[in-house]
Amino acid sequence: MRYDEIDLQVEDIMWFGVDTKGCIVEFTTGGSANVPEYVCRSREETEALEKYFTNMEQHTNANMLIDRNGSPLANDAFALASCGLFCYDVAYDKDHHPTSYYNKIAFPDKQLKITNLPDNIKRLICDHLISADAASDQLIQVDNAY
Q: pLDDT tens for residues 16-46?
A: 999 999 999 999 999 999 999 999 999 999 9
Res 70 pLDDT > 90:
no
The pTM for the full model equals: 0.96
Listed residue (7, 3, 4, 66) closest to 31, CA to CA: 7
Quick: pLDDT tens for 80-119: 999 999 999 999 999 999 999 999 999 999 999 999 999 9
DSSP 8-state code for residue 57: P
- Say if strands 24-28 and 86-92 run parallel, antiparallel, or are unpaired: parallel
DSSP 8-state code for residue 58: P
